[in-house]
Amino acid sequence: MKIEIITTGDEILQGIIVDTNSAWIAERCWMLGHEVVHHTAVGDDEKAIGNVLKAAVKRADCLIVSGGLGPTVDDITVEAAAKAFGIKLHLDETVVDEIKKFFERMGRPMSQSNEKQALIPEGGQPLPNRVGTAPGVQVKLGKAECFFLPGVPRELYQIFEDSVMPWLHKRSSGVYETHILRCFGLPEATIDERLKNIDFSHVRLSFRVRYPEILLKLIARGEGGGQAKKHIETAVHAIREQLGDVVYGEGEIIMAEVVGKMLRNRQMNIAVAESCTGGLIASMFTDIPGSSEYFERGIVSYSNLSKQELLGVSVDTLRANGAVSRESALAMAEGVRRISGATIGISVTGIAGPGGGSPEKPVGTVHMAYSAPDKTEAFEHRFTGDRERLKQIFAMTAINMVRKCLLSV
């Protein structure tokens, strides 16, 4: 089956946003064994959208169109399609009710402009949106089955998975398996180098850089009988042999969740003292549902005074070594463990920039420490990047430090 993707929106054409939806859609089509033959992006212009649709239905069996289903005046995709193919739109009362209910859950009245989101082409059907107001629309245009989806990624993902995937799946043959290995601690080129001797003839490997992490995505196709799954397992085994504990998890899990599980299994809890990361480590830990079981408290000791008052770091330690030092990091980790009574205390103190660097301690320098009943350790790292990226990698490195220290416990 030949599929075309059409993206609408001035923001895409003007380069305001990068279109990540198309790659996401294309990958799922590919996994189901369908071929995406063409992808077009077009602005919020009724005539242009109509022309693109008319050309596409001549080439493809299925169109997946995204964007322009919102409530505002420049959201015109469905109207443009209806006009181009001479189809009438009707107000679908069930959809109006759904949108009203959505607003009720939000505790707000539905705005008049949302009503146009319930206009469905004759012969078509709405595709439920559980996370937003715009339903998708499925309708046959010419000889092509067309799916209209919102441009907002999370809404598009949900409708695609709920309504488009099953449709595509019914029309596909073969079995596919997909798997993700999550890596932290090595750059992309080094990982690539280490994996170069592995035979990937049965598996498609792609790198996804999600700074500061690298995800390895594996996709295998098979004829059934667990063939695809076996291909994946063989590849995972070979990759893990090369990368060791650089692979911190598999699938949808994130680093803070891996560490959270380790803490829970060991019936331990943790307290965090942060300086340069400014609360980001605490925020990452508490992103995980149920983290209150093991996350005891976080201290963002941004000022030197707060390091003394809240963590008991001595003036002498700060004066002799500076706040960004192995000694201060150790005192902070021990301090937060002592005052909180948590099993583990960790600390991070560094220079995220752009100011505050010196020749001895340039921007990107970070000290972190781990304090537990059985061991206390301090680590120094140097990274490059802007303030935002440094905060990210400092925080991830600290959480990874906990993981590595716990691996042997």
Give the footprint of a copy of itself on residues 206-235 (CB under 8 A). 206-209, 217
Q: Show contacts with a copy of itself in window 291-330 (CB under 8 A).
A: 291-292, 295-303, 305-306, 309-310
Q: DSSP string spanning 196-245?
A: TTS--TTSEEEEEEETTEEEEEEEEEESSTTHHHHHHHHHHHHHHHHHGG
Decide whether 112 or 201 has the Cβ nearer to a copy of itself: 112
Least gap, CB of 403 to a copy of itself (angstroms): 19
- How far apart CA 133 and CA 150 sit, in angstroms, is 10
* DSSP character at residue 141: E
Q: How far is the CB of 355 from a copy of itself (least distance, A)?
A: 6
Site for a copy of itself in 35-74 (CB under 8 A): 36-43, 48, 52, 55, 70-74
Under rule CB under 8 A, residue 165 binds a copy of itself: no
Total binding residues toward a copy of itself, as defined by CB under 8 A: 99
Residue 16 or 407 having the CB closest to a copy of itself: 16
**Of 23 and 320, CB closest to a copy of itself:** 23
Work out how close the CB of 151 gets to a copy of itself at its nearest, in angstroms, rounded to a whole number.
Answer: 10
Cα–Cα–Cα angle for 156, 284, 408, nearest 5°?
A: 120
d(CA 196, CA 83): 53
User: Candidates 9-17, 159-167, 230-238, 242-250 — which segment interacts with a copy of itself by CB under 8 A?
Assistant: 9-17
User: How many other CB atoms sit within 10 Å of the CB of residue 257?
Assistant: 18
Query: Nearer to a copy of itself by C-beta: 139 or 281?
Result: 281
φ and ψ of 357, to 5 deg: -85, 160
91/305 with CB nearer a copy of itself? 305
User: Rounded to an integer, what is the distance from CA 245 to the centroid of its chain?
Assistant: 22
For residue 197, what are the contacts with CB-CB under 8 A and spacing of at least 6?
A: none
Closer CB to a copy of itself, 164 or 282, in the complex: 282
Stretch 231-270 residues interacting with a copy of itself (CB under 8 A): none
- Asked whether the bond before 289 is cis by omega within 30 degrees of 0, the reply is no
Identified binder of a copy of itself from the candidate list 97, 122, 192, 245, rule CB under 8 A: 192
Q: What's 111's DSSP letter?
A: P
Choosing from 272, 329, 378, 399, the residue that interacts with a copy of itself (CB under 8 A) is: 272
**Least Cβ distance, residue 382 to a copy of itself (angstroms):** 6
Count Cβ atoms within 10 A of the Cβ of residue 56 and give its class: 0-12 exposed, 13-18 middle, 19 or more buried.
Answer: buried
Distance of alpha carbon 368 from alpha carbon 158, whole angstroms: 40
| Of residues 347, 353, 388, 386, the one with CA closest to residue 368 | 347
Q: 274 or 334, CB closer to a copy of itself?
A: 274
Cis, peptide link before residue 354, omega less than 30° from 0: yes
Q: Cβ 312 to a copy of itself, closest distance in Å?
A: 13
